[in-house]
Chains A and B, each alone.
Chain A
Amino acid sequence: DAGITQSPRHKVTETGTPVTLRCHQTENHRYMYWYRQDPGHGLRLIHYSYGVKDTDKGEVSDGYSVSRSKTEDFLLTLESATSSQTSVYFCAIALAGGSGELFFGEGSRLTVL
C-alpha cells in the first residue's frame, strides 16, 4: 500500500519566517503534488513534480518554492511566511502516472501569526 508522511502535522510560526513542509512517500511514485485547502476555495494546486528535480507551477505558486532531490521526498518551502499562507497543506502522489488517481497525506496545518 502507498504511504505518505507529512511533517510537521501542525506548525505555528510568525510572519516573515521561513517554513518547510516535507512530504515523504514509501514507494517510488514519479508524480507528487502539493495543494492548499482553504474554506470557500476547495483544494488549489501549488506545485507538482514529475520526477527528481522536475517540478512545475500550479494555480497558486507565488510565495512558494519546491524541491525534489530524491524520489521519495517533496519539500514545500515558504521563504517568508505571510498570514495569507495560513492554510492546510496536502501532499499527494499519483499512483499510476500523471493525471491518474491521487493518494493523499493527512495534511499539515500551518498558522502564520
Chain B
Amino acid sequence: SQQGEEDPQALSIQEGENATMNCSYKTSINNLQWYRQNSGRGLVHLILIRSNEREKHSGRLRVTLDTSKKSSSLLITASRAADTASYFCATDLNRDDKIIFGKGTRLHILP
C-alpha cells in the first residue's frame, strides 16, 4: 500500500478561487513534499516542509503539516489556468531514503 494518499482525487474550480488538496500518510517522516505534474511531463518540486514545521509559504502556495494526524494540506490561492495539473505529495518512508508518492489530485481550473 502507498504511504501517501491525496484527497480529493479530482477537483474543478473557477479561476480566481482557492484550491485545497489534502494528503494523509502512515509512518513517521522527516519531511513531506508537494510536486506538480503537467500532462505528459516530469514532476516539478513545489515545496518541502520538515516534520518540525507546521506551515510554510511559497508565493501563492501554503502548506500545512500536522504530524499528530499524519496529514498535510496544500492551498493554492487565486488559482490560474496554468495551475491546471496533477499534484502529488511525497514522504520518506519511516524516515528512510525511500521517497514514496501518493496517487495525486487532478486539479482543473475553469475559465
Contacts and interface: CB of A to CB of B under 8 A. Distances in A.
Contact of B42 (A31, A48, A105): A105
A58 B98 contact: yes
B25 interface: no
Interface string B40-60: 111111001000000000000
A92 B44 CA distance: 11
Contact of B99 (A33, A42, A105, A106): A33
Contacts, number: 65
Nearest to A59: B100
Interface stretch (B14-22, B63-71, B76-84, B89-97): B89-97
Contacts of B41: 106-107
Size range of the chain A interface in the assembly: 20 to 34
Interface string A30-55: 01010100001111110010100000
A50 B97 contact: yes
Q: Which of A50, A56, A101, A107 has the most CB of B within 10 A?
A: A101
Contacts of A103: 45
Contact of A45 (B30, B98, B103): B98
A42 B101 contact: yes
Contact of A35 (B44, B101, B103): B101
A102 interface: yes
Interface of B: 2, 30-31, 33, 35, 40-45, 48, 88, 90, 92, 95-104
Interface of A: 31, 33, 35, 40-45, 48, 50, 56, 58-59, 90, 92, 94, 98-107
Given A31-B97, A94-B99, A102-B45, 12 more contacts: A40-B103, A43-B43, A44-B101, A45-B98, A94-B97, A99-B30, A100-B31, A100-B48, A106-B41, A106-B42, A107-B40, A107-B41
